[in-house]
Structures are given as C-alpha cells and as structure tokens.
Structure 1
Amino acid sequence: MSDSILSTWNAAPADTASDAGLLAQTAIAVEAAGSALRERFGGVVRHRTREELMRALAANDEVALDVLRPRLTPLRPGARWVEKELEGGALPPGEWWVVDPAEGNVNHLHGLPEWAVTATLVRENRPVLSAVHLPLTGETYTALADGGASLDGRPLHVSGTTDLGLGLVATSQARPDEDEAVTRRIGSSITAMLHDALVVRTSVPATLHLLNVAAGRIDAFWQFAGARADLLPGALLVSEAGGRISDAEGRPWTTESESLLAAAPGVHTDALATLSR
C-alpha cells in the first residue's frame, strides 16, 4: 500500500490469508449481481417525473441487492450493512459492508455502458477488501489492504507520468442537487485543469474513473463531496496500485473529507497546486 491515508486509518487486526479468500467470494457475489443487472440493460428507461426516475433507480438497486445480500451476509454474519448509498462520514465500530448495487445507476437507465456493482468490507473504519465488477465488459477489479490491486487476477499499477501537462485527468459529479458552493468549485476546478492538464474527462460514476487511475489509464481523479459507496472501492484500488490519496488540499483523506484526489505519485503535487487555485 502506498503512503496515503488508507495506511493511516485505524489499523485493525487482519488475517491476510482469510481476507484473500473472503475477497474471492466477494468477487463472485458482485459478478452474480452484475449478471442480474445486465439482463435488465438495454434501451432508455423513460421517466416523466423525478418520482418515476427514483422508482426506476430503486428497482435496479433491489435486483442487485437481492443477489448480494444472501451471498455476502453468510461470509461475515456479524457485519452490518450501509443502507444508504449517498451517505458519508465515519462508520460506527465493527465490520460493515459498503455496497453500491448499481454504481452509475442513472447511466444504466439511459442505456449508457458506464455502470458497475461494488462491494467493500470496512473493518474499524478501514477498508480491507473491495470488488468491482463491470458487467458489460466482464472485468472484475479487486483490492486487498496491504495485498495489492488486480484486474481479473493481473496486478494493477498506476501510471508513471510525471508531467501533469501530459496527463489525462478526470472528475465526477458526486450527486444531483449539490449546493451552489460545491457546483461552483467543480466548475472552477475543471477550468483550472483545462489549463494545466492535457485532457479533462467529466462523467459519472466516480468509481470507473478511479479504476482507470489504478490501471494507469488516467493519471489523476478528483471530486468534491461524495459518499462512502462511490469513493471507498476506488480509493482502496488506487492506493493498492501505488497511487496517492488525499483531499484536494493535500490533507489525509477520510470518508469525512469534503474532497478527494487520487493520482499517480508523479503528478499528485502538481494536481494539488492546480486545484488550490
């Protein structure tokens, strides 16, 4: 694991061998849930009101959760579940499943391919394992605390880029209806990155950008605001792939932070400078 907040969170006793077996079973669970969502994927799901949209989003979530719960619960019977995807902040003591049953759900409903199923086990506020499955490509990304990150069993490494001016960077909108201060900060940060980076990508969901940082395809990702479910899986993947994690001011990142920056070590400092303008 790289020198980041993920290595400074409250350390919990770990059995790497047993957690590795648990991760393998978690990967199977997200793949099964992804298959169920893939069967529902196709054309645009039309909605005329916000209420209709929310019902369609909830229906996708329930389909995936109906697969995830009976598979993950027996793996750690004492672990509790985070019920609300958009919540942030520290968790109470113990083990928790932080799951996003349809990460990028709104894309799924609009016939767009950028969506996934994620599951992360958090132990004493430290992510210990995470699995992310992309049903349309069949790819499964996994990370184990102090055990590395991989794509379908192949090790992942962040990019070796050292020049932000040659870097591909990305950002995402954490949720609809952000307050004005957050939306203005998003806009000004994109403008600043357009001056300093080679190319800026903007889309949802955050997890898919973070997967690309971990795989070395994107050099940096930042986001203002956010929730545990959309940042924890990717943050662990990036950290275990050798990346650096902080908030947008360079402070250690936690689930209580108001921003996140995940970057290749060679551009992290410059990205911080850009975001501070």
Structure 2
Amino acid sequence: MSDQNDIPTIGGKSFTAVAINCAAKAGEWIKTKLGNYTSLTLKYSAQDLCTEVDKGSEMMIKNLVLTHFPHHSFLGEEGVEPGPEASERALDNVRDAEYLWIVDPIDGTTNFVHGFPFFSVSIALAHKGEVIVGVVYDPMRDELFVAEKGKGAYVHGKRMQVSEEAALGESLLATGFPADQQFALPLNMKGLQALVPQVRNIRSGGSAALHMAYLAAGRLSGFWEIGLNSWDLAAGALLVAESGGRVTDTKGRPYDLGVRHVVASNGHIHAQLLSELEKAEAVG
C-alpha cells in the first residue's frame, strides 16, 4: 500500500489517510475470508446477498472512522434496511451532515460469495453533501484508487485520466444487472439491448465502484446503471470527475448523493450515451 505516501491530505486533517487505512485494513481482511464465509442471507431479492463478512467489514470501517472522527456521521450499506425506499430514507436522514462517511464494505458481494475476484471496498467522505474524498480498493489486485476534490485521482500513486474515445462505436462500456427485478432490471436490459450493437463491447463485472474506478483509469469509456445507491457511487463519482470524466443521472442532471440512475463517461461520449438511453426509454 505504498500509495498512502503519494496522496496529500485536506486542510491539515487526515481524512484521506484514514479512508485509505480503513479500505486497506478491511480489504486485507476480506481477502482472507474468500471462500470461507459462514452465513449467507438474502436481502431485497435472491440476487441481493449479504454475508457476515460484509457486516464485519462495515463494523471495522465504522469503528476506525469514528475513532478518528467521533462527531462525523456514517452511512453504510449494511446498516440500512433492504430496498430502494429504505435506502432513500437513510440518505435523507444524514445527507445534510457536515461530514458524512458513505461506505460499501464489499461492493460485489455476489462475486465474493462465488469466489469471483472482482469486488471492492468503497469509502467516500462528503462535506455538506459534496463528496471530497473517494477511495476504492480492490484487495485481489491490491489496487488502490484515490481521489480528493480538486486534487486529482490516482492509482498506484500515478495520476489517472479518462480515455479518449470520441464515439460510441469505439467505446468499451460497463453496466450491471440490478437486484430489483421489477423496476431497475427491465430498464437496464432495455439500455443494454439498445447499446450492444452500437459499441465496441459491454462488460458487467459486478461491482459498480470498480466500474467507476476503471472508467477513471481509462480502462472503460462509459458506465451506466439503473437503481444504484449512494454507497455504490459516491467514491467512484469523485474518481471519475477528478480524472476528467463526467457523471450525471440518466437525464443529464449533475451527480449528487441522491442519484440512483447513473451515467458516467469520459465526457466525449456522454451526450451520445444519454441520447441512446433516452431513445430506448431506459432512463428510469
């Protein structure tokens, strides 16, 4: 984790150092539990999974954060009841906090359960509703993606920059298959069907946070998904923005913590991506 020395802190307070430390410690512990979890529960649907490792990771991160910043607010996925309405209520209760930590302790739990090595720890810090720190850590590749508001985004200590593809036909996109099979999944499938013939290819890795990190690093040209939550997007949205990309909702409105239907891109293909999703009636 040599990246820790390459990223400055904000205003003399070690917000970023704490976020990096939390992500690293949780990620290293999660990695030891791969193939070794003991309980598996279903949350919102048969596709929405939780293990004791998710809960343990969140508790570890929360305890570490509150040890350093006891007066900060905390929003973690595992502390929220399942379903989109509960997620929105939980965010509404804390989104105006001066400092709010937004955490997905394992983004990609289904992958973790199956031993598929594509999952991450996502940690963001928002100040009065604006994300100022974003960290996404992939423990299987020991890749740490870090962004600070106004100071750029980095991986392996090197500054990231989004890709240069200027048209959908040159683009590699990513999306997901939402756990909400009544609303979000059918809409996302409409978008998928419309876009597959128009792009170079589409990937679905199973971790929105890593998709956003890969977009920031220039490995993807764009990403969209219907029905995500603040903990899926907050850290990744800052990574993309600080790497020169663009993040909006599916109707083109600027990203904020309440966005659930997201489009992120290198900026060059953003208008085309929004237009195709609108034509496909896949914006939510």
TM-score range with shorter-chain normalisation?
0.7 to 0.9
Q: Counterpart in 1 of 2:96?
A: 92
- How far is the alpha carbon of 1:122 from its aligned partner? 1.2
Closer, same or farther: CA 54–214 of 1 in aligned 2, 3 Å: closer
Structure 2 gap ranges (5+): 1-8, 280-284
What one-letter code is carried by the residue in structure 2 that aligns with 1:23? T
- Asked if 2 retains the 8 angstrom alpha-carbon contact of 1:196 and 1:274, the reply is no
Residues 122, 149 of structure 1: CA spacing in aligned structure 2 closer, same or farther, 3 A cutoff? Answer: same
Residue type of the alignment partner of 2:16? L
Output the CA distance in 2 between the equivalents of 1:194 and 1:44: 36
Match of 2:131 in 1: 127
Pick aligned residue for 1:137 from 138, 141, 150: 141
- Aligned-partner residue type, residue 240 of structure 1: E
Q: How far apart in 1 are the matches of 2:39 and 2:65?
A: 32
Aligned partner of residue 18 in structure 1, secondary structure: coil
* Other-structure match for 1:69: 62
Amino acid at match of 2:253: R
Distance in 2, Cα, partners of 1:163 & 1:54: 33
| Structure 2 residue 253 is the aligned partner of structure 1 residue 251 | yes
Taking CA–CA contacts closer than 8 Å with sequence separation of 6 or more, which of the two structures ends up with the larger relative contact order?
A: 1
Instruction: Indicate the residue corresponding to 1:177 in structure 2.
Output: 180
Mark the CA change 1:29 to 1:83 in structure 2 (over 3 Å): closer, same or farther.
closer
State the TM-score, normalizing by the size of structure 2: 0.83
- Distance apart, 1:202 and its partner CA: 2.4
Structure 1 position 26 matched with structure 2 position 36? no
Q: What residue number does 1:16 align with?
A: 10
Residues paired across the two proteins, number: 258
Pairing partner for 1:188 from 175, 178, 190: 190
Cα displacement (A) at 1:143: 0.6
2:229–2:259 CA contact under 8 A, matched in 1: no
Please tell me the residue identity of whatever aligns with 2:242: E
Quick check: 1:43–1:110 contact (8 Å CA) kept in 2? no
Report the Cα offset of residue 54 of structure 1. Answer: 10
Amino acid at match of 2:180: D
* Identical positions, percent: 25
How far does the alpha carbon of each residue in 1:91-138 deviate from its partner, in whole angstroms, 9 at most, with x for none? 133211111111111211111101111211111111110111111111
Matches within 5 A, 1:185-224: 185-224=187-226
Partner of 1:265, secondary structure, is: coil
Partner of 2:169: 165
- Letter of the 2:10 counterpart: T
In the other structure, the counterpart of 1:153 is 157
- Aligned equivalents of 1:93, 1:270: Cα separation in 2: 36
Aligned residue number for residue 230 of structure 1: 232
Contact 1:99 1:229 in 2 (8 A): yes
* Aligned-partner residue type, residue 133 of structure 2: L
2:108 to 82, 104, 111: 104
The question of whether the paired residues in 2 share the 8 Å contact of 1:102 and 1:115 is answered with yes
- TM-score when scaled to structure 1? 0.85
Q: Output the CA distance in 1 between the equivalents of 2:48 and 2:188.
A: 28
Quote how far apart the aligned CAs of 1:178 are: 3.6
Assess, with a 3 A threshold, how the Cα gap between structure 1 residues 235 and 242 changes in structure 2: closer, same or farther.
same
Q: Deviations over 1:123-179 (max 9, x none)?
A: 1111110111111111111010111100121101000111210100111134x2342
Task: Give the RMSD, CA atoms, in angstroms.
Answer: 2.4
Structure 1 residue runs without a partner (length 5+): 1-14
Give the match for residue 38 of structure 1.
31
